[in-house]
């Protein structure tokens, strides 16, 4: 019994030692794996930095570089009048063409007002018809009154009718003339009423048309800012589009380089995700004021620290050719020539995906 107990104790102790040793080994193995991962990350990062440095080292005099990010003009599709959104017909990432329906506002109230305005036009037109008929009646009465007055005058001249009858016929003629004038004024009023009602219809039709939110330009839907059923105020943004025909990279250059740039000069863009390709661009903007200004600029060295924003725009025809690949937010490097006679090195020769 003692031997068996001793053996059992030895056996259990040995197993415990083995388990403890194994548990101690596992953290050490994980530490080794972590160390290897860190070393690989450092090596890859160093390789990328070395590649960038090698690109910079190959740049001849007259060519400078700066980090930047691809940007695109944004177009906000907003509602002109306050109201409830009835439907949003696009989704994020969808390509839309100019004039295509993006969203639709609730138009129940406007439609009711439009029907009322059209009814007012019809009513004014009927009033005009009635006034024209009344004018014909008044003209007939005027003609009869003129004849009666002429007869009364002839009879009075021959002594066959009293002067009182002449005065009565003259009064009747005057009344008939006034009736004709009133009828003609009624026609003018009816015509003006029709014009006013037509203007109201046109105004409401314009408001009704504004309820259909359409894309003002070709672009890709970047954000949907409001959903169906939400109530937005006047000028409330519903959808944001990205104008992929106006894509550019913004870089910042020191004063000594920015001052030598010419608007319209050639540039090159290399994007981080596709460093094997070189995209042509054009310098389309150089800021007139510095974006980064030190506290004092009394010396030449301090003036060299002034950084100016430069815009490198990608050609529109190139963007159309790569419409599906074009997107904003991609980081990269922009290259510009401070000397137009400086040749582009082979590494910056234009190279585009096939």
Same domain flag for 268 and 134: no
Question: Is residue 33 predicted with pLDDT exceeding 90?
Answer: no
Distance of CA 23 to the CA centre of its chain: 61
Same domain flag for 86 and 217: yes
Look at residue 123 and tell me if it is in a domain.
yes
**pLDDT of amino acid 12:** 41
C-alpha separations of 3 from 7, 8, 10, 12, 15 in Å:
6, 8, 10, 14, 18
Look at residue 186 and tell me if it is in a domain.
yes
Same domain flag for 123 and 189: yes
**pLDDT of amino acid 250:** 92
Look at residue 30 and tell me if it is in a domain.
no
Look at residue 180 and tell me if it is in a domain.
yes
More confident residue, 21 or 344: 344
Same domain flag for 102 and 114: no
Same domain flag for 288 and 249: yes
Of 96, 91, 69, nearest to 252 (Cα)?
69
Measured distance CA(148)–CA(145) in Å, rounded: 5
Of 243, 204, 189, nearest to 221 (Cα)?
243
Measured distance CA(210)–CA(207) in Å, rounded: 5
Same domain flag for 97 and 187: no
**pLDDT of amino acid 271:** 93
Look at residue 9 and tell me if it is in a domain.
no
Q: Which of 198, 232, 266 is the last residue of a domain?
A: 232
Q: Which domain holds residue 94?
A: 78-106+212-232
Q: Which two tokens stand for residue 112?
A: 């009711």
The domain spanning residue 228 has which CATH number? 2.40.50.100
Measured distance CA(88)–CA(226) in Å, rounded: 8
Same domain flag for 91 and 119: no
Predicted confidence (pLDDT) per residue in 159-214, tens digit: 777 888 878 888 888 888 888 888 888 888 889 999 999 999 999 999 899 899 99
Look at residue 266 and tell me if it is in a domain.
yes
Same domain flag for 69 and 98: no
Same domain flag for 216 and 292: no
Question: Is residue 127 predicted with pLDDT exceeding 70?
Answer: yes
**pLDDT of amino acid 42:** 44
Q: What is the mean pLDDT of residues 132-146?
A: 87
Predicted confidence (pLDDT) per residue in 252-310, tens digit: 998 888 888 989 989 999 999 999 999 999 999 999 888 765 444 444 455 556 889 99
The domain spanning residue 274 has which CATH number? 2.40.30.170
Same domain flag for 255 and 337: yes
Place of tokens 């036009």: 121
What's the mean pLDDT when you consider all of the chain?
80
- How many folded domains does the chain comprise? 3
Q: Which two tokens stand for residue 182?
A: 């009133």
Q: Which of 232, 267, 282 is the last residue of a domain?
A: 232
More confident residue, 332 or 354: 332
Same domain flag for 323 and 177: no
Same domain flag for 131 and 101: no
Look at residue 52 and tell me if it is in a domain.
no
Specify the pairing of strand 266-271 against strand 95-96.
unpaired
Question: Which residues make beta-bridge pairs with 220?
Answer: 95, 242
Question: Which residues make beta-bridge pairs with 221?
Answer: 241
**pLDDT of amino acid 10:** 36
Specify the pairing of strand 101-105 against strand 212-214.
antiparallel
Measured distance CA(260)–CA(267) in Å, rounded: 14
Look at residue 33 and tell me if it is in a domain.
no
Q: Which of 201, 232, 263 is the last residue of a domain?
A: 232
**pLDDT of amino acid 233:** 92
| pTM assigned to the model | 0.56
**pLDDT of amino acid 301:** 53
């Amino acid at each position: 019994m003692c031997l068996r107990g001793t053996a059992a104790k030895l056996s259990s102790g040995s197993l415990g030692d083995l388990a403890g040793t194994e548990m101690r080994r596992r953290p050490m193995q994980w530490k080794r794996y972590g160390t290897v991962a860190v070393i690989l990350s450092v090596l890859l990062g160093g390789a990328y930095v070395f590649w960038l440095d090698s690109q910079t080292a190959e740049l001849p005099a007259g060519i400078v570089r700066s980090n930047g990010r691809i940007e695109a003009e944004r177009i906000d599709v907003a509602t002109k009048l306050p109201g409830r959104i009835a439907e949003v017909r696009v989704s994020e990432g969808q390509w839309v063409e100019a004039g295509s329906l993006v969203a639709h506002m609730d138009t129940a109230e406007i439609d009711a007002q439009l029907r009322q305005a059209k009814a007012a036009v019809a009513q004014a037109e009927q009033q005009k018809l009635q006034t024209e008929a009344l004018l014909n009646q008044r003209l007939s009465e005027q003609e009869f009154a003129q004849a009666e007055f002429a007869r009364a005058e002839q009879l009075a001249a021959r002594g066959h009718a009293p002067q009182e009858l002449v005065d009565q016929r003259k009064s009747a003629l005057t009344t008939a003339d006034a009736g004709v004038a009133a009828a003609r004024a009624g026609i003018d009023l009816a015509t003006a009423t029709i014009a006013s009602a037509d203007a109201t219809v046109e105004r409401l039709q314009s408001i009704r048309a504004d309820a259909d939110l359409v894309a003002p330009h070709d672009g890709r839907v970047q954000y949907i800012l409001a959903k169906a059923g939400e109530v937005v105020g006047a000028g409330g943004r519903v959808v944001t589009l990205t104008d992929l025909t106006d894509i550019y990279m913004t870089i910042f250059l020191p004063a000594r380089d920015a001052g030598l740039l010419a608007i319209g000069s050639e540039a090159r863009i290399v994007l981080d995700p596709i460093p094997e390709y070189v995209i042509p661009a054009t310098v389309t903007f150089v800021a007139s004021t510095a974006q980064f200004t030190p506290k004092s600029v009394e010396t030449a060295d301090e003036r060299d620290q002034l950084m100016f924003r430069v815009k490198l725009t990608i050609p529109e025809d190139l963007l159309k050719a790569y419409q599906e690949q074009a997107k904003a937010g991609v980081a990269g490097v922009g290259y510009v020539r401070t000397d137009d006679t400086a040749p582009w090195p082979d590494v910056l020769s234009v190279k585009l995906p096939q």
